[in-house]
Structure 1
Amino acid sequence: MKTIDRFLARLAAVQLENVFNPYRDICPIHDHAESAQIRLQSLRAYLTLAVQQGVDSIWFGRDLGHRGGRRTGIALTDEKHLPLLAARLHTRGIRKATASEMVIERTATVVWSMVEEIGQLPFMWNAFPLHPHEAKAPLSNRSHTRGELSQIWSFNMELVDVLKPRHFVAIGNDAHVALANAGLPCSYVRHPSYGGQADFVAGLRRIYSEHCAANRTGALASQLELID
C-alpha cells in the first residue's frame, strides 16, 4: 500500500540526537548489515496486515526499550514473542533482525501474557516510536522529551487515521498524557514496570470486560434496528 510505504519511508528517515531509529540505524554491538531493513520489513508486514484485518484497539506504550522494540522494530514486543505475533498474523514477514542471541524484555513478557489471556490482538505502538537513550549509553533507556515527541507526533496521528481503531489503551502516565493532549480519548492502565504488574493486569482485565460488554450491547442494538 502506497500510504504505508510513504509512512515507513518518512519514519525510517528520522534522525534525532541520542535516539536510535531501529528502521534506519545499525547497532554496532547486536546488529548486522541488514538489521534495520529487516525491522522495517517486519513493521511493514505488521501494518499491512493490521489494515487488511482491521484494528479494534491500539495499545500505546511510552517508547521503545533497548531489550524490546529497539531490537525487533515492534512496540511492546521482544524477540521471544516476535514469533507469536507472526503466528497470530499468519505471516513470515515478521522475523528476528539482530545477530546476537535472543533477548527477553520483562515488559513485553507481561504485555504478551495479557494478549494471550484476552484473546484479542491489539495493534501495539508507542507514543514515541523510537528508542531514546542517554548520551554515550546507547543501550540505556530514558523517557523521550517533550521536544522529541513534538517532532514525531504527526506519525501517530497518521497511524490512527490509517488504522481507524475504535479504542485506545494508554500504558503508563506518559502515554496517557500524550494521547489526552492530542484529544484522543483512551483507557488508562498502569505500566507493568517498577512494581506495576498487578495493577496493569487488573486494569486490562477491567478495561476489556467493559469493552466487550459495550461491543455486545452495540451489536444487539444493531440487530434490533434491522428487525425494526
Structure 2
Amino acid sequence: MTPDAFIDDLAGLRFPGTFNPYAESCPEFDADDAPRIRRENLRLVLEAAAAAGVDSIWVARDLGYRGGRRTGLALTDEAHLSAHAGLYGSLPLVRATRGPAMAERTAKAVWQVLRSVGRPVFLWNVFPLHPHGAEGPMSNRCHNRAERLASRHYLDWLVAELRPRTVVAIGNDAAAALSDLDVSAFRVRHPSYGGQGEFLARMRELYALPVPDRCGAQATLV
C-alpha cells in the first residue's frame, strides 16, 4: 500500500459518533476544502517519514477535538503545526480551519519532549479518527474495541513500512489497545490530568534526555 492508498482508505473509514477529518468538514470551524488540506498534511508527513526513516512511533489513543481533528495529524494542535512541519525538514503543512489557532494540553507536553529528542519520530493514534460523546462533536470519548480492530491495519502498515526502533504507547488506554493488537510498546503515562511529570521522566529514561538538577543545571540520564 502506498501513502496515497493509505490515506484514501483512511478517508473512507466511517463509524457512528466519530468525525473523519480526512473526509468530513466541520461547519463551525473548518475552512473551505479542509478535508483535502488534512489529507495533504498527512501525505507530506507520511512520505517524509518513509523517505527519512524513523527512530520511533509514538501512539496515543485517538484524535482529540482540539488537536488532530483540526490538523489531521496525531498529537499535533495548530499551535505546533509549524513544529511538526520542521520535524522532517520544512514541510509545507497548512491550517485547515478558520479563526484563532487552537492549542491542546497533550500536544504541548508531547512537543516539549520532541524538541529535545533530536530523532525522527512518527505520531499516530490507535484509532485514527475523532470519537466524540453524546454531549456533542466538540467532546472526546475513548474508541471502542470494534473501532480499534477495524482500523488496526493502519498501525500494522506503519510499523512494517517505517520499521521503528521502538513503539511508545502514550497512556494506559493506548498501551492496553496496543497489547490487544499484539503490538509491543514502551508504556509512558499520559501527560494530561496530573501525569506530565511522570510522562517527562519516562521519556527522559527512554531517550537519555538531560534533566535539571536541584540548582537548575543540566545532567544527563545514563
Alignment of 1:27-46 (within 5 A): 27-46=26-45
2:171–2:188 Cα contact (<8 Å) kept: yes
Which entry has the higher C-alpha Rg, 1 or 2? 1
Partner of 1:76: 75
Q: Would the alpha carbon gap of residues 92 and 116 (structure 1) be closer, same or farther in structure 2, given more than 3 Å must change?
A: closer
* Structure 2 unaligned residues grouped into runs of 5+: 210-222
Alignment of 1:93-108 (within 5 A): 93-108=92-107
1:14–1:21 Cα contact (<8 Å) kept: yes
Give the letter for the 2:126 counterpart. A
Alignment of 1:10-49 (within 5 A): 10-49=9-48
Alignment of 1:143-154 (within 5 A): 143-154=142-153
1:115–1:121 Cα contact (<8 Å) kept: no
Give the letter for the 1:72 counterpart. T
Query: For the residues of structure 2 that align with 1:133 and 1:104, how far apart are their CA atoms?
Result: 18
Give the letter for the 1:62 counterpart. R
Q: Would the alpha carbon gap of residues 39 and 114 (structure 1) be closer, same or farther in structure 2, given more than 3 Å must change?
A: same
3-state SS in 2 of match to 1:80: helix
Q: CA deviation at 1:136?
A: 5.3
Structure 1 runs (4+) deviating above 6 angstroms are: none
Alignment of 1:119-158 (within 5 A): 119-135=118-134, 137-158=136-157
Query: For the residues of structure 2 that align with 1:92 and 1:62, how far apart are their CA atoms?
Result: 25
Query: For the residues of structure 1 that align with 2:14 and 2:176, how far apart are their CA atoms?
Result: 24
Q: Higher helix share goes to which structure?
A: 1
What TM-score, normalized to structure 1? 0.88
3-state SS in 1 of match to 2:167: strand
Give the letter for the 1:6 counterpart. A
Q: CA deviation at 1:35?
A: 0.6
Query: For the residues of structure 1 that align with 2:90 and 2:205, how far apart are their CA atoms?
Result: 31
Give the letter for the 1:175 counterpart. A
Query: For the residues of structure 2 that align with 1:169 and 1:92, how far apart are their CA atoms?
Result: 24
Query: For the residues of structure 1 that align with 2:17 and 2:167, how far apart are their CA atoms?
Result: 29
What TM-score, normalized to structure 2? 0.90
Alignment of 1:61-210 (within 5 A): 61-135=60-134, 137-209=136-208
